[in-house]
Amino acid sequence: MNTQEIVKKLAELLYNEERGYNGVIYFDWKTYDDENDIPHIIINGERVNIDEFRVNKEGTQISVISGDDSYTLDLTTSPFTEQEYEDMGMYALLNDVYYETDYSWEIGDFEIDFLGIN
């Protein structure tokens, strides 16, 4: 499953008003024992810890916010390859987003139960 497909599945999960989700996930850095565990991505060779992750309803655009900085990625026109997404830590970030939801307790493992990857 490629990055755009994963983001689309997360968008479907994160637009559930019944549970209070509106396409946004917040990360509280104080809840992590080790700074290396804070959700992050690599942008221009620099580690960027993420405060907030946003996805549009269609799952075609994501934004990440770190302090006063905001980065937006349109997945329909993205110049990145799957390897570049992996190198920047996008898959790990999407994994973190999933586990920050209440759904992860009900659905189960990110890869096996949510994405259906065996």
- pLDDT means per 10 residues, the chain with 118 residues, are 95 85 92 93 95 97 96 94 96 96 92 91
Please indicate, yes or no, if residue 89 is contained in any of the structural domains.
Answer: yes
The secondary element (H helix, E strand) that includes residue 93 is helix 90-99
Q: 41-69: string of b/e by CB count within 10 Å (b at 16+)? A: beeeeeebebbebbbbeebbbbebbbeee
Please indicate, yes or no, if residue 116 is contained in any of the structural domains.
Answer: no
Please indicate, yes or no, if residue 77 is contained in any of the structural domains.
Answer: yes
Please indicate, yes or no, if residue 93 is contained in any of the structural domains.
Answer: yes
Please indicate, yes or no, if residue 110 is contained in any of the structural domains.
Answer: no
Percent of the residues in the chain that have a pLDDT greater than 70, as a whole number: 100
Please indicate, yes or no, if residue 38 is contained in any of the structural domains.
Answer: yes
pLDDT of residue 115: 95
The secondary element (H helix, E strand) that includes residue 87 is helix 82-88
Tell me if residue 12 falls in helix, strand or coil. helix
Please indicate, yes or no, if residue 53 is contained in any of the structural domains.
Answer: yes
Please indicate, yes or no, if residue 94 is contained in any of the structural domains.
Answer: yes
**Alpha carbon of 30 to those of 33, 53, 103, 104: distances in Å?**
8, 17, 22, 21
Domain span including residue 73 = 3-104
> In terms of pTM, does the model score above 0.85?
yes
Q: How far apart are CA 86 and CA 18, in angstroms?
A: 32
Domain count, the chain: 1
